Structure formats: structure tokens, C-alpha cells
Amino acid sequence: MYIDTYAYSNRWRKVHPGEKGLFALLCLTSALLSRTALLPLAVAAITITMTVLGAGIPWRNYLRLALLPALFLLWSCLALAVSFSGGEIHLAEIPFLHLTISLSRQGIDQAELALARSLGASLSLLFLALTTPMTEIMGLLRSLGAPRLMIELMTIAYRQIFVFLEITGQIRAAQEARLGYASPRLAMKSLAGLTGNILLRSLSRARQNHQALLARGYDSKLRFLSPPHNWSPRNLAAAVAAGITLNILALAIHP
């Protein structure tokens, strides 16, 4: 979970989460609204610069983090470009099913636009994820009026994730040391033991947490404090100006 680590240790940790959130959100909408491939790519370039040069995330690790969604994206866009019902460029023919695999001009255009949009949008989100810790994002959601129950469930879940990650790592290492993943059959059995164990632990953990809450005067409300942040008028103005410009450009530029 590199992303979470950087969220707490980057250079822009102290910047008000609302400013970062607003900027990321405006970048996201401009990438989504644009009708040409060029603007989302510009958004991608801006967010990369902000994340690597601004927030100071090491670029090697940034690349590694961005590569996985990018590969997944390429695979999805390949699906967009390919057509089974005929197109200008024939690629292959499947003899028994009478199917031809081909690329159509329209399909390629569609895939190109989707790829650019999605890249711009994903990198905008990655900017927010790498600069703002989950707890502060939850604080933002709370002040935006998300249902209290939802935020409470999220907070419980977020805290528990790291406990489980540690237990999972330990059990997995123990299983691997005993050749638990040597064959697919064994791997399935080990995985079931691992998951079953974590599930049981989560049930007993839930009971313990509840009892701990009761012991501390739980009245069916969980209250959280957000760390104080100061709005910076300069940052806010820059974020809003850049974001709105991008959105206007997205709406104005026609293919």
C-alpha cells in the first residue's frame, strides 16, 4: 500500500484537503467532459507534474503505481477498438464460427478518446490519493454531508484494514514456509484457511471492539475529530482558476 504511505508523508500533507480535493475533482470533470484526446492528455501531464514535482512523490514509484491501471486501461481500450461485425481493417478470421476480427475507423477513434479521458481522470484521482490521507478524505465527505452511518462504517473499515493486512502477511508467510502454495490444489486449501481465519478473527474483533466501545460510554454515535487545516486563499484561487480554465477548454474545444 504505497499510496497510503505517501498520502501521509508527501510534501503537501499539510495543505487543506479541500483545496487538493477541489483541484483533483475539477481536473477529473474536465478530462471527462472533453471531446478531444488532447485535453485529457494535458490534464494528465498537469497532474503528473503536480504529484511528482509539487508533492514530491519519487517518480520511479509513481510510474510503478500508474503502470498497473494504465495496462488495465490498454486492455479495455483494445476491446473498444476491435469489432466482430466488420470494419475497414481485417485482422484475423475464425473459420468455424464465421467471425472476422477487424478494426473499424470509428472504433479506433472511440478507443483513443476513451483511453485519453480515462488516463487523465485516473491520474487526477491518483493525485488526490497520493497527497491526501484516507482519514482526511472521509473528513471531507463528512463535511459534504455524507450519511453519518456510512462514514462510521468507513472509519471502522479503514482502521481494521491495517490490522488484517498484518495478520494476512503473517499467516501467508507461515503457509508458504510449509509449502502451502506449492500446487494449485494446495493453494486453494491454504487460501481458504487464510480467508476463513481472517473472517473468524474479524467476527471476534468486531465483538471486542463493540465491548470496548460500550465500556467507554457508547451511545450509538461514533465521533471523530478532523485535524485542523487552514484554507490558503492563494492555493484555493490557483486550484479553482486552473480547474475552471480546464473545464471551459473542455467544453469549448470541438474535435
- Contact set for other proteins, span 135-194 (CB under 8 A): 137, 147, 149-150, 152-161, 163-165, 168, 184, 187-189, 191-194
128 is a site residue for other proteins (CB under 8 A)? yes
Q: For other proteins, which residue of 52, 54, 61, 69 counts as binding (CB under 8 A)?
A: 69
CB of 235 to other proteins, least distance (A): 21
User: How far apart are alpha carbons 141 and 23 in whole angstroms?
Assistant: 15
User: How far apart are alpha carbons 116 and 255 in whole angstroms?
Assistant: 14
Contact 101, 52 (CB under 8 A): no
User: How far apart are alpha carbons 81 and 78 in whole angstroms?
Assistant: 5
Alpha helices in 87-183 (DSSP H): 105-131, 134-143, 148-177
What part of residues 37-56 is at the interface with other proteins (CB under 8 A)? 40
What letter does residue 50 receive in the DSSP assignment? I
User: How far apart are alpha carbons 56 and 12 in whole angstroms?
Assistant: 8
CB of 236 to other proteins, least distance (A): 21
Contact 50, 42 (CB under 8 A): no
What part of residues 200-229 is at the interface with other proteins (CB under 8 A)? 200, 202-207, 209-210, 213, 218, 220
* Candidates 8-16, 28-36, 46-54, 228-236; binding stretch for other proteins (CB under 8 A): 28-36
Contact 117, 31 (CB under 8 A): yes
Nearer residue to other proteins within complex by CB, 124 or 235 = 124
Total residues interacting with other proteins, rule: CB under 8 A: 83
94 is a site residue for other proteins (CB under 8 A)? no
97 is a site residue for other proteins (CB under 8 A)? no
User: How far apart are alpha carbons 248 and 28 in whole angstroms?
Assistant: 13
Nearer residue to other proteins within complex by CB, 192 or 241 = 192
Nearer residue to other proteins within complex by CB, 75 or 234 = 75
User: How far apart are alpha carbons 251 and 19 in whole angstroms?
Assistant: 23
Nearer residue to other proteins within complex by CB, 199 or 230 = 199
* Candidates 45-53, 101-109, 227-235, 237-245; binding stretch for other proteins (CB under 8 A): 101-109
Contact string 227-246 vs other proteins (x = CB under 8 A) = --------------------
Nearest-10 crossing angle of helices 233-252, 17-33: 10
Which residue(s) pair with 92 in the sheet? 101
